[in-house]
Structure 1
Amino acid sequence: MFRLRYHVPALLEDQGLLPSITKLLRLDLLEKTPQQTANGAKIWRDWKALTAPRSESCKSVTIALVGKYTTFMDSYVSVLKSLEHSVMAWEHKLNLVAVEASHLEQPSQASSQEEYDLAWSKVRPADGILVPGGFGERGTEGMIAAAQWARENKTPYLGICLGMQVAIIEFARHMCNIPEAGSIELSANCPDPIIIFMPEIDKETMGGTMRLGSRPTIFQEGTEWSKVRKLYEGKEVISERHRHRYEVNPEYIERLSAAGLHFIGKDDKNVRMEVIELKDHPWFVGVQFHPEYLSRVLQPSKPYLGFVSAAIANRVEAESTKLAAPTTNGV
Structure 2
Amino acid sequence: MIRYIFITGGVVSSLGKGIASAALGALLQARGYKVRLRKLDPYLNVDPGTMSPRQHGEVYVTDDGAETDLDLGHYERFTGVSARQSDNITTGRIYSRIIEKERRGDYLGATIQVIPHVTNEIKDFVLSDPGENVEFVLCEIGGTVGDIEGLPFFEAIRQLGQELGPERACFIHLTLLPYIPAAGEMKTKPTQHSVKELRSIGIQPHILLCRCDRPIPETEKGKIASFCNVRPSSVIEARDVGHIYDVPAAYHAEGLDTEVLGHFRITDAPDPDLTSWDRIARTIRNPDGDVCIGLVGKYTDVPDAYKSVMEALVHGGLANQVKVDVKLIDSEQFDDEHAPLDILEGVHGVILPGGFGERGAHGKMRAARFARERAVPCFGICYGMQLSVVEAARHMAGIEDASTSEFGPTKSPLVGLMEEWTKGNERVVRDENTDKGGTMRLGAYPARLKEGSKVAEIYGSLDISERHRHRYEVNASYIKQLEKAGVLFSGMSPDGRLPEIFELPDHPWFIGVQFHPELKSRPFEPHPLFASFIGAAVKQSRLV
What TM-score bracket applies, with the shorter chain setting the length? 0.7 to 0.9
Change over 3 Å in CA distance of 1:49–1:102 after alignment to 2: same
SS in 1 for 2:388: helix
Give, in whole Å, the separation in 1 of the partners of 2:241 and 2:419.
42
The correspondence of residues 10-21 of structure 1 with structure 2, limited to 5 A, is: 10-21=249-260
Change over 3 Å in CA distance of 1:156–1:168 after alignment to 2: same
Of structures 1 and 2, the one with the larger relative CO (CA 8 A, separation 6+) is 1
1:121 aligns with 2:351: no
Determine if contact 2:287/2:322 at 8 Å carries over to the other structure. Answer: no
- Per-residue CA deviations over 1:195-230 (Å, capped at 9, x if unaligned) read 01112221123413211000001112xx3241x322
- Per-residue CA deviations over 1:255-276 (Å, capped at 9, x if unaligned) read 1111111111111211100011
Determine if contact 1:243/1:289 at 8 Å carries over to the other structure. Answer: yes
SS in 1 for 2:398: coil
Aligned to 1:322: none
The correspondence of residues 1-331 of structure 1 with structure 2, limited to 5 A, is: 4-26=243-265, 41=273, 44-52=274-282, 58-106=288-336, 116-117=339-340, 120-188=341-409, 190-200=410-420, 201-207=430-436, 208-220=438-450, 223-226=451-454, 228-233=455-460, 235-318=461-544
Determine if contact 2:418/2:472 at 8 Å carries over to the other structure. Answer: yes
- The residue type equivalent to 1:130 in the other structure is I
**Deviation, structure 1 residue 68:** 1.4
Determine if contact 1:62/1:127 at 8 Å carries over to the other structure. Answer: yes
Name whichever of 20-29 and 300-309 sits farther off.
Answer: 20-29
Determine if contact 1:4/1:53 at 8 Å carries over to the other structure. Answer: no
Give, in whole Å, the separation in 1 of the partners of 2:284 and 2:440.
42
SS in 1 for 2:262: helix
**Deviation, structure 1 residue 134:** 0.5
**Deviation, structure 1 residue 12:** 3.1
Change over 3 Å in CA distance of 1:179–1:215 after alignment to 2: same
Name whichever of 51-60 and 120-129 sits farther off.
Answer: 51-60
SS in 1 for 2:329: strand
- Structure 2 segments unaligned to the other structure (5+ residues): 1-239, 421-429
SS in 1 for 2:243: helix
Change over 3 Å in CA distance of 1:8–1:170 after alignment to 2: same
Give, in whole Å, the separation in 2 of the partners of 1:86 and 1:2.
21
Change over 3 Å in CA distance of 1:26–1:179 after alignment to 2: farther
SS in 2 for 1:286: strand
Change over 3 Å in CA distance of 1:263–1:58 after alignment to 2: same
**Deviation, structure 1 residue 193:** 0.8
Change over 3 Å in CA distance of 1:246–1:54 after alignment to 2: closer
Q: How much is the aligned-residue C-alpha RMSD, in angstroms?
A: 2.3
**Deviation, structure 1 residue 181:** 0.4
Determine if contact 2:287/2:323 at 8 Å carries over to the other structure. Answer: no
**Deviation, structure 1 residue 165:** 0.4
Give, in whole Å, the separation in 1 of the partners of 2:470 and 2:288.
38
**Deviation, structure 1 residue 28:** 5.5
- The residue type equivalent to 1:196 in the other structure is G
SS in 2 for 1:202: coil
Give, in whole Å, the separation in 2 of the partners of 1:66 and 1:154.
17
Determine if contact 2:489/2:501 at 8 Å carries over to the other structure. Answer: yes
**Deviation, structure 1 residue 157:** 0.3
- The residue type equivalent to 2:457 in the other structure is K
State, as a whole percentage, how many aligned pairs show the same letter.
Answer: 37
Give, in whole Å, the separation in 2 of the partners of 1:2 and 1:286.
35
Aligned to 2:44: none
Give, in whole Å, the separation in 2 of the partners of 1:180 and 1:240.
31
Give, in whole Å, the separation in 2 of the partners of 1:2 and 1:288.
35
Determine if contact 1:262/1:276 at 8 Å carries over to the other structure. Answer: yes
**Deviation, structure 1 residue 148:** 0.5
SS in 2 for 1:126: coil
TM-score, normalization by structure 2: 0.51
Change over 3 Å in CA distance of 1:231–1:140 after alignment to 2: same
SS in 2 for 1:239: strand
SS in 2 for 1:263: strand
Aligned to 1:325: none
